[in-house]
Amino acid sequence: LSIEIIYLVTTTLTKISILTFYRRLTSSLISKPFLIAVWASIVFVAAYGISFVFVLLFTCWPVEAYWYRFTTSWLKTHKYKCHDELTTLVVIISMSTAQDFIAFILPFFVLRKLKLPWRQKVGLAAIFGVGLVTCAIGALRIHYAHKVFHYIRIADPTYDITWEALGSWVSTAVEANLAVICASAPALKAYCHCLNGSHPETRSFGWY
């Protein structure tokens, strides 16, 4: 549960960071519909993050039942109710992947107006390539979620969740970290200039 909430909070804040960067682009590069789309995306991501944190926190009622429902002694003296965790996770992952795709596709409406040298185009292609990989990994997590919870439902006595969930944990970590890399990409420009011993030029578009 803690991993799910940390993942949700981390990726939500990262996406908002990326979207607010889009908002800061020079006005000559962006249109009013683009700004509306960015603000709508920010509201959507923020509402998604806040609402599903509470949905995860109250997976079971009372909350401690999430951990104690497998303890025989606790069950003898307590009653509890839990909603379907698999359904919740699939909805969260699906919405997260959709948000990744939105964050990936929005800049193309701005970039098509720019005439850039080939080196800058390669750099942008690399950044968007990472964003596309993030979308793909998000989709892969849906498969892993089904795999993990399928065996829990059929009560397979040989099932070891710590082993079977490895793919899910790895894909979760990779997706979250790739998203952070994408969000940090604009700041890497100044770092690259420092490595080359040159001074960064002032440009209206901070991605290159």
Q: Cis peptide leading into 186, omega within 30 of 0?
A: no
CA-CA distance, 162 to 148, in Å (whole number)? 10
Q: How far is 202 from 128, CA to CA, in rounded Å?
A: 23
Q: What is the pTM of this model?
A: 0.77
DSSP three-state, residue 81: strand
Query: Does an H or E element contain 60, and which?
Result: strand 60-61
Written as tens digits, the pLDDT of the chain (208 aa) is: 788 888 899 989 999 988 888 887 655 666 788 888 889 999 999 999 999 999 999 988 888 888 888 788 888 888 889 888 778 888 888 898 898 888 888 887 777 766 767 777 677 667 777 778 888 888 888 888 777 766 655 555 666 667 777 788 888 888 888 888 888 877 766 665 555 555 544 444 444 4
